[in-house]
Structure 1
C-alpha cells in the first residue's frame, strides 16, 4: 500500500513543485493590537524570508507548493511557528505575538573563564569537524547562552537571537535560532533543534562554480537525499538499509558477554517507512537501529566512482517524522552516527535546494 502511495506522490510532484506561490500576512502585538515592524518572517530551512513593514505586513514570494514551516521572530516577543500546506496563494489572519515576560535572574559579575572552551566544543559539535566546517565562521557568538554541567558532563545551549554563520564552503549565510542544543559526553550523544534561514552569498564566478560543486557533493548521500529517494520510490537504486540481530551469544562465569555473533537483515522500504494520518507526513521507524549504506550507481547500473558512505540511525522516539521535502520534523527523535552524524550544520542545505537547480 505504501509503495502505491509513494508512486502516486512521485507522479504528482512534477506538476506541483514548479508553482510559484505567495504567503501574505501581518504581525501585530496581542497586548495592544499595534503592528510590529521589522519582525523576521521566514520559512524554516529555506532561502525565503523577509522583514515585516512599518504596518506589520509581509509577503513571502516564490514558494513551491507543499508543506512549509512559517517562523516569526522579533526581540521582545515570543516566537511564532506554524506549519502550512501551501497549494494556492495564502493570506493569513493577523499573527499575534505575545510580549516576552522578563525574568530577572542572578547577575553574575566578571568574565566566564570557561567560555572559550565551551564555545570551542560547541563549534566542533554544531558545525562538525569536516573540511566544510573549517570554512565556516560564527559571526556573533555572543548571542549564545552556553552552560556546562560538570557532574553530568552535559553541555547545553540556546540563542534568543539569530546565530549568524558564514558558510564559505557552500556559499550560504545561515541565521540560526537555536532552541535546544545538548551534548552529552557521558553518553556520547548530540542533539539540537531550532529554526534556520539561508541567504545566498555573493561571490566571483569561480566561487559560484565551486559552491555549486560543493553543494552537489554534500547533497548526494545526505539524509535529505535519502528521504527524497524514499518518497520517489528510488531508494533501492543507491541505498541499502539493514538491521542487525544477534544470532548467538553467551556469558562467561563472571557475567560478561562473550562470543557475540550478529547477522544483518536487508530491509524493504515498507519495513521502515510508514504513512501517517496527516497528509504529506511520513514516519521512519524500526524496532532496532538502522544501518544505511549509500552506494551510488551510474545510469547503466555500475557502481559510481564515489566513496560509499555508511550511517546509523538510533531512535530516541518511536518514529522519526519527515515531510515531502525530505525535512525531518522531530530532529531530537533520533541520533545519527558516522556519515550523517559527522555532517552537522556545515553541510546543511536548504530544503528548496535541488541539484538540477529546479
Structure 2
C-alpha cells in the first residue's frame, strides 16, 4: 500500500491579535500602461472577505485586525495577482499592477497530451482528496490547469494560469484557489502543493445550510487548523490533542553499509559472475541484498507527553513559533478513525496495541523553526510535512481561517 506525505499548503494567513481597532487595506488596480481597471475581484486568502474595484479602479477591504494578509486579485484577461500585506497599528494603501494573460488573449495551439486525463485525475486525488466530502467536490474550470511530466526525475508538475474554481457541495463553499505550485514525485510518493484560497458561501435552503453547518463543524474538529489554533491558545490538551514524539534510532538489524556492500561485491564476483539459481552463493547474495533494503533508522514512540509550554514560544505579539527534534505524533482523542480510513486510505499510522483508534497524524519539521498564528495558519508553506490523518484531509475538508464554531 502506497503511503504518501503531504505538504501543508496554505500560505501566510491572518493572525488575530488582542487589539480591538479595525483596520483596512485599500488601493488602486491598474494595468502596465497605467490604465485603471474597474470590476476586478479583490479577495483575502483563506477568508470569505471580498470586494470589486470601483469605476476608478479603487477598492477597500475593511473591518480587519492586525495581522498578516495575502490580497488576491482576479480580472478577465489578466494574470492572477497576489500581494502580501502586514497590518500592525495602521491601515495600508497599496498599488497593484496587473499583467496581461497572453494565454487567454492570444490564440495558441496546445499539443495534445495523451496522458493529460490521467495526470488531472491524479491531481484531483492528491489535491481535492479521497474523503467522503471529496466525492461532492468539483473543479469547474479544469481547462486552466497545465501538466508537465519530467520522465527523468519522474516528477509531475501541475500549474494554472488562472484561479481554480472549486465547488464543495459537502461544506457549502465555492473556492477561488490560486495554485502556486503542485508537484508529485513518483519515486518518493511525496506531494508538495501550496496555494491561496478564498471562500464564498453557496446558496441553499434552510435544511441544506443546517447540513453544511454540521459538516463544517466535523471538518474543523481534529484538523491541523484546529490543532494549531488550540496550540496557540495553550489549549491543545483541553481540545482533545495528545502530543508525543516519534524518535529515530539506529536499526540494529541492519549491518553497516561497508559490510553489506563488501559482501555483495564479493558474492557477485563468485564463479566469474555466474550465479546458479538455488546455490549457496545465490542464497547468500539474496540475504545481503535484503539487508541492504532495510532502513538505516527506525522510529519508536516516546509515550511521554510533550509539554506545550516547552514546545511553543512567543515570537512576536501576533506570532508564535516552535522548533523540535524528531517528529510530533499527534492524537486527536475526540474522534475515531473509520474502518474505511484505517484499511483502505493508505495513510493510517501505526500505533501501540493499547492505544484506541484515535485519529493520528505525524508532523515532520522540514524547515526550522516554524511560525503560526492565532487563527491556526502556518507562515512557511514548506516548513511542515504531514503524515496520517492530516495528509488524508485536503481541500475538500478545508474551512475558512475565520471559521467560527456555531454556538450550541
CA deviation after TM superposition for structure 1 residue 158, in Å: 1.8
CA distance in 1, matches of 2:371, 2:222: 19
Report how far residue 185 of structure 1 moved: 2.1
Deviations 1:15-36 (A, max 9, x none): 74xx66543322234x443312
Partner in structure 2 of residue 292 of structure 1: 330
Q: Residue 212 of structure 1 corresponds to which residue in structure 2?
A: 213
Confirm whether residue 156 of structure 1 aligns to residue 194 of structure 2: no
In structure 2, relative to structure 1, the CA distance for the partners of 1:261 and 1:63 (3 Å cut) is closer
Compute the displacement of 1:139 (Å). Answer: 0.5
Q: CA deviation at 1:169?
A: 0.3
Give the SS at the match of 1:69.
strand
1:6 aligned partner = none
Identify the residue that residue 314 of structure 1 maps to in structure 2. Answer: 364
Whole-angstrom distance in 2 between the partners of 1:280 and 1:261 = 35
Classify 1:108/1:289 alpha carbon distance in 2 versus 1 (closer, same or farther; 3 Å): farther
Over residues 327-353 of structure 1, what are the superposed CA-to-partner deviations in whole Å (9 max), with x where a residue is unaligned?
A: 112222221111100111001111111
Could you give the per-residue CA deviations for residues 116-148 of structure 1, whole angstroms, max 9, x where no partner exists? 111100000000000000000110100111112
> What is the correspondence of 1:1-358 to structure 2 with a 5 Å cutoff?
13=18, 16=20, 22-29=24-31, 31-64=32-65, 66-74=67-75, 75-77=77-79, 79-85=81-87, 90=91, 92-97=92-97, 99=99, 110-237=111-238, 238-246=240-248, 249-250=251-252, 251-252=254-255, 254=260, 256=292, 262-264=300-302, 265-276=304-315, 278-296=316-334, 308-356=358-406
More divergent stretch after superposition (339-348 vs 257-266): 257-266
Which 5+ residue runs of structure 1 have no aligned equivalent? Answer: 1-8, 298-305
**1:104-125 deviations in Å (ceiling 9; x for gaps):** xxx7554221111111000000
Please say if residues 65 and 87 of structure 2, whose CA atoms lie closer than 8 Å, have aligned partners that are also in contact.
no
Compared CA separation, residues 355 and 65, structure 1 to 2 (3 A): farther
The gaps in structure 2 that reach 5 residues or longer are: 1-14, 261-290, 336-355
- What is the CA distance between 1:267 and its match in structure 2? 1.3
2:341 corresponds to: none
TM-score by length of 2: 0.73
Q: What's the secondary structure of 2:37's corresponding residue?
A: coil
Measured after TM superposition, the shift of residue 94 of structure 1 is 4.4
Aligned length: 333
Are the aligned partners of 2:80 and 2:163 in contact in 1 as well (CA < 8 Å)?
A: no
Deviations 1:248-286 (A, max 9, x none): 74234746559967341421113432333x431222331
Q: What do residues 220-252 of structure 1 show as CA deviations (whole Å, max 9, x unaligned)?
A: 111111111112111122111111225674234
1:78/1:100 contact within 8 Å kept: no
Structure 1: distance between partners of 2:80 and 2:249: 52
Aligned partners of 1:32, 1:108: CA distance in 2, in Å?
28
Q: Using a 3 Å threshold, how does the CA distance of structure 1 residues 261 and 350 change in structure 2: closer, same or farther?
A: closer
8 A Cα contact 1:271 1:286, kept in partner = no
Provide TM-score, normalisation by structure 1.
Answer: 0.82
